[in-house]
Amino acid sequence: MTDVTSDHEHAARLRDAVVDELVDRGEIVSKDVEAVMRKVARHAFTPEASLEDAYHTYNAVVTKRNEHGRAVSSVSAPQIQAFMLEQAEVRPGMRVLEIGSGGLNAAYLAELVGNTGEVTTVDIDPEVTERAARLLAQAGYPDVRVLLADATEGVAAHAPYDVIMVTVGSWDIPPAWIEQLTATGRLVVPLRIRGLVRSVAFQRQGNRLVSTSARICGFVSMQGAGAHEADLLLVNGTEEIVLRFDDGLPADPGQLNNAVRSPRVEISTGVLVRRMEPVDTLQLYMATVLPGFCTMSVDAGLDTGLVAPRNKGFSMACVEGANFAYITTRIAEDDAFAEFVVHAFGPGGPTLAEAIADHVRTWDREHRGGPGPRITLYPAGTPDDQIPELPGGRVIDKTHCRVTLSWSPTATAAEDRATQHHTTE
């Protein structure tokens, strides 16, 4: 009995410490979200983890892996859950649909909607739904409706919803998710845009969705009808250098076969960032302005030094015909700053590198420190002349929707930027 009491008190201290940190960092801004994250026992939904692992601010707890060891279900990190709850703006009496079950997030939502609201959570995996239903009942939330289904069709039986919260990575937005929202409902979804995942809060406006915020995040990918795999291009025919394209390969990827046999070009951008400064908007800006945008990874075990990114696991890259380039950083002499540089290969490598460097400078001058792009979703087939964000933005065509990224210049003083202290992505 003493051990149980001790564990309970230890968990409460850890939970309060996590919430205190998230409040201090501005991830939690509302009293309602703060209250529910202090109240609900996170460790009750992560019995496979130690208390310390359960209450780690920035780590998810994996609850199921597939036969290849890849995570297919998890309880998201407190930081991710906090800002997604803030994005959702859930209020008492609301009807909420959660897509992707884990149990904990549904408990938070149940607390936020109160006795007059409804929470439905759905997942495609029977092991996941059984686990979620069992843990919710044990934690005192038997009224949460746990359903087994492929959520690409939503859950029409309990619609319309004031909020739909998706807790799995989604490449597309099925029509049902929009149709089952109320006229002013909100969709919060980890949306994959050209290989970049952002938790986007959308407000419904007729048949379109308009973003109100977007936060960098990571989630296990959606299964079932909504699953989508990126196309991989092996540069030079080996797995040393892999380019990932989220929306289809280049027209003639074989043109890159000889690119890496040319000398590597390096162009300095002159743009400096603190080593702990966020650059997630640069990623989205490059995805907007570069038609051949992709991401690059290097297999450390096969690395010959042919390419030299500082982050071997992820670099912004671009393919243009027989040329490809990527953005990396070079640490400045004082070790406090890093400079963006562009490496390029191919007969047109110098020209491509200069063009990318110019885009980095434009981001620095007009968008750095700003809120990022406005992301708007239109139904597939919407004509360009009915999308007011064009020209000036980019349309990304998916199966069910057209995603637009549009930017407004944001003037940010260099001295203000130099005081930022976050994480370089």
Give the pLDDT of residue 409. Answer: 79
Q: 5 pLDDT exceeds 80?
A: no
Element of type H or E holding 184: strand 181-193
| pLDDT (tens digit per residue) in 61-120 | 888 787 777 777 788 899 999 999 999 999 999 999 999 999 999 999 999 999 999 999
First to last CA, the chain: 46
Predicted local distance difference test score (pLDDT) of residue 3: 55
Return the pLDDT at 4. Answer: 53
Residue (of 396, 406, 402) closest to 379 by Cα position: 402
pLDDT at position 54, please?
A: 92
Please enumerate, as own/partner, the contacts of 25-33 that have beta carbons within 8 Å and a separation of 24 or more: 27/79, 27/82, 27/83, 27/86, 28/82, 28/86, 29/86, 30/86, 32/90, 32/112, 33/82, 33/85, 33/86, 33/108, 33/112
DSSP states of 278-333 = --HHHHHHHHHH-TTEEEEEE-TTT--SSS--S-TT-EEEEEETTEEEEEEEEE-T
Q: Does residue 37 carry a pLDDT above 50?
A: yes
Please give the average per-residue pLDDT across 175-195, as a whole number. Answer: 96
What average pLDDT score do residues 368-386 get?
Answer: 94
Q: Is the pLDDT of residue 286 over 50?
A: yes
**Mean pLDDT of all residues in the chain?**
91
pLDDT of 336 > 90? The answer is no
Backbone angles phi, psi at 296, to 5 degrees: -125, 140
Identify the active-site residue in 73, 76, 101, 170: 76
In whole angstroms, what is the distance from residue 154 CA to residue 135 CA?
23
pLDDT band at 334 (very low <50, low <70, confident <90, very high): confident
CA angle 299, 300, 305 (to 5 degrees): 95
Q: What is the domain partition of the chain in residue ranges?
A: 2-226, 231-370+410-417
The CATH label, of 3.90.550.10, 3.40.50.150, 3.30.450.20, 2.40.50.140, for the domain at 2-226 is 3.40.50.150
Token pair belonging to 43: 């460790």
Q: Does 412 score more than 60 pLDDT?
A: no
Q: What pLDDT was estimated at residue 424? A: 41
Cα separation of 151 and 337, whole Å? 45
Is 76 annotated in the active site?
yes
pLDDT at res. 222:
81
Percent of the chain with pLDDT over 70: 95
Is the pLDDT at 24 greater than 90? The verdict is yes
| pLDDT-wise least confident of 136-145, 362-371, 382-391, 407-416 | 407-416
Q: What is the pTM of this model?
A: 0.90
Are residues 118 and 95 in contact, defined by beta-carbon separation less than 8 angstroms? yes
Question: Is residue 417 pLDDT above 70, yes or no?
Answer: no
